[in-house]
Structures are given as structure tokens and as C-alpha cells.
Structure 1
Amino acid sequence: MDKVKVLEKYLPAEAAPLIARWIDYFKCEFKISRNRNSKFGDYRSPYGGKGHRISVNYDLNPYAFLVTTVHEFAHLHTWNEHKQKAKPHGTEWKNNFKKMMQPFFEKEIFPADVKKAIVNYLDNPAASSCSDLNLYRSLRKYDPPKTSEAILTVEKIPLKALFKLKDGRVFRKDEKLRKRFKCTEVATKRIYLFSPVAEVELIEGATAA
């Protein structure tokens, strides 16, 4: 099937032709991946006879899919220019990310609230769009309704409540430390820091001292 037609299933149709051209121009293996809790997308530089590889989670809404795709292509472009000399999210990457996002602004692809959040994010882009809470929340507004209703995040559950991750591990929510919540794994008593928007399953009626 034509690349553009495939991409149109996952990102805004107006953006698909340019992303398809990038895939060809950069000779990139572009994979639409299963859901990964820890990241929306991934870039791998050429290694062991393989070329550039980008993967993006299949279940992102079209705007989140596009933001993530541009994010990863900015890594690719930065690697082409600087190889390992540039930091993963350093100045070189930030400049490329801003530059590569511009065509989509010119096409007015994003809703006003998402565009505003992206502009703010571009001032100091973090490791991923889910690291920026304002951008993350703006993007999540455009998830399918059923998905949004089913999502429960760490910030929404009560203090001392128990919650479970998809891998089955159980944690207790503790106090907030700056931007993240301190949480204790029940089985090991180890402390972990969770993003406020980390998606979890509440264990109903369970709290821990």
C-alpha cells in the first residue's frame, strides 16, 4: 500500500505526504509499533548494517502521532549532522525539532490549543511530549472518548491509594516531590518517582499505611 495512504490512518491527512517524503529522503525504516508505556516513539541510529529506524506507537491520536514522529525525525536529522557529538536533546536537536515542525504550523494542521501548547513546548522541548504536562494534556483531549474516560493517572488517585501497572506490580502513592510523585512498590519497598500523568489502574478500596 502507498506510504501516504498508510500514514493517513495514523496522522492528519495533510501531514502524510511530507512524512512519507522524509521516510524516503532519509532512507528510514519507519515502523508503527505496539503500545509502549514508557515512550511514544523511538529513534535508532544506523548500526550493524541497518539504517535509520523510527518507531511510533500505533494507538496515539493523530496529533500526538505527528508530534512524536517529528520529534524522532529531528533525532535522525541531528544524527546525520553531528553523529554522536550532539546530546540527545541538546541545542542541535532542539533547533532541528523547531525547524521540522514549522511546515505543519504553516499548513495549520493543529487545533489552536494544541498549537499553543507545542509553541510553548518548543521553547524548551523535553525528552518527550509526555514529559511536558501541558502539551500532554492538550494532546490527550483529542484521544477517542472511550480511551480518555478509561484513563486514570497517578495525579488523579488519592494519596496512599494502591495502584497497579500493566506488568502487575503494585505501588502505593506517596507525597509529591516537585514535579513527580514518590511511590513505593509494595513487594520490594523500593521507591520510584512517577510522572503525574503516568497511566495506572487503581486498586479499588485499597490503601496502605
Structure 2
Amino acid sequence: MDKVKILEKYLPPDAAPLIGRWIDYFKCEFKISRNRNSKFGDYRAPYQGKGHRISVNYDLNPYAFLVTTVHEFAHLHTWNEYQLKAKPHGTEWKNNFKKMMQPFFEKDVFPADIKQAITSYLNNPAASSCSDLTLYRSLRKYDAPKENIVTVEKLPLKTVFKLKDGRVFRKEEKLRKRYRCTELATKRIYLFSPVAEVEVIENYNK
């Protein structure tokens, strides 16, 4: 099947042709990946005979899929220009991300709130796009509803919740940008991102 037709299943349709051209131009292996809780996408530089490799999680909504794809292609472009001389999310990468995002702004691919969040992020050189909560929240609004799933920041204090792996925690106070949470089985303390997705345990008695 034509790669653009495949990409249209994951991207806003107007964005698919350009991403298809980038895959060809940069001679990049582009993989639509399983869900990875720790990251939306990944870029691997050429190594031991392998070329550029990008993977993006299959279950992202179209706007999150596009932002992640451009994010990773900006890493590729920056590697081509600077190899190991540029920081992963440094000025060089940010400049490339901004340039590579511009065609999608011109096509008016994004809803206004996402476009504003991207623009704001690009004007803030202190944050990486992975940790920019304003951008993350604006993208998440376009996810399909997930039954019984809520973000840590929306839980009342002392709420008990579990992760996909079954571990159970109790929400404690906020420490700067993250929430202190106690794992009930071990009494260990973990710091959770405000936007971490968890499942509430009702009437927890243990």
C-alpha cells in the first residue's frame, strides 16, 4: 500500500503527503510502533550500517502523532547538520523543529489551541516538548475518551490509584512540578507527572 495512504490513517490527511516525502528524502526507516508508556516517539541516528530510524506510537491522536513525528524528524535533521555537536533539545533542534512545523501551520492543520501551545512552546527555550505540560494537555484533549482513566493532577489528595502494571499508590502533596505518591506495598515514595494516566481504586481497604 502507498505510504501516504497508510500515514493518512494516523495523521491529519493534509499532513500525510509531506511526511511521506520526508521519509523518502531523508532515507528514513519510519515505524508505527506499539504503545510505549515512557515516550510517544523515538529517533535513532545511523549506526553500524543502519540508516535513520524513527518510530511513533500507533495510538496517538492525529495531532499528537504529527507533533511527535515532526519532533523526531527535527532530531534527524539536526543530526545531519551537527551530528553529536548539538544538544538533544538545544537551540539547533528547536530552530529545525520550528522550521519543519511551519508548513503545517501554513496548511492550517492544527486546531487553534494546539497551534497556540506549539507557538508558545517554541518561544520558551527552557522546556523540551516532551515535558511542556501546556502542549501535552492541549494535545490530550483530542484523545478518544478512556474509561476509568484519569490524570494524577485531577485526583483529590489521598486518593488510591493503580498503574497498568498493577502497582497501587496513594496521592500525596505536590512538590514543585510533580506529585509525591506512596506505593502502598513497599511504602516507597515516587514522584508522578501531573498528567500521568492512572486508574482510581474505589473503596480501597487494604
TM-score range, shorter chain: over 0.9
SS in structure 2 at match of 1:42: strand
Partner of 1:195: 193
TM-score by length of 2: 0.93
Alignment partners' CA distance in 2, 1:162 and 1:150: 13
Aligned residue number for residue 13 of structure 1: 13
More helix by share: 1
> Paired residue for 2:162?
164
Report the aligned-residue RMSD: 1.6
Unaligned runs of 5+ in 2: none
- Tell me the CA shift for residue 44 of structure 1: 1.0
Q: How does 1:20-99 map to 2 (within 5 A)?
A: 20-99=20-99
Task: Give 1:48 shift.
Answer: 2.1
**Equivalent residue, structure 2, for 1:127:** 128
Amino-acid identity (%): 82
Distance 1:169 1:11, change over 3 A: same
Does the 8 Å CA contact 1:173/1:184 hold for their aligned counterparts?
Answer: yes
Match of 2:105 in 1: 105
User: TM (normalized to structure 1)?
Assistant: 0.92
- The DSSP-based 3-state class of the residue aligned with 1:206 is coil
Is 1:153 aligned to 2:151, yes or no?
yes
- Give the aligned residue type for 1:70: V
Q: How many residues align?
A: 205
Q: Any idea what the Cα deviations from partners look like across 1:139-186, whole Å, max 9, x if unmatched?
A: 122222x33x54311011121222111122222211101111111222
Deviations 1:62-114 (A, max 9, x none): 11100010001111111111111111111111111111101100111111111
Offset of residue 137 of structure 1: 1.8
Q: Which runs of 5+ in 1 are unaligned?
A: none
SS of alignment partner, residue 63 of structure 1: helix
- What residue in structure 2 maps to residue 140 of structure 1? 140
Counterpart Cα distance in 2 of 1:17 and 1:128: 24
The letter of the residue matching 2:202 is: E
Distance 1:185 1:40 in 2: 25
Moved over 6 A (4+): none
Matching residue of 1:184: 182
Displacement of 1:189 = 2.6
The aligned amino acid for 1:180 is R
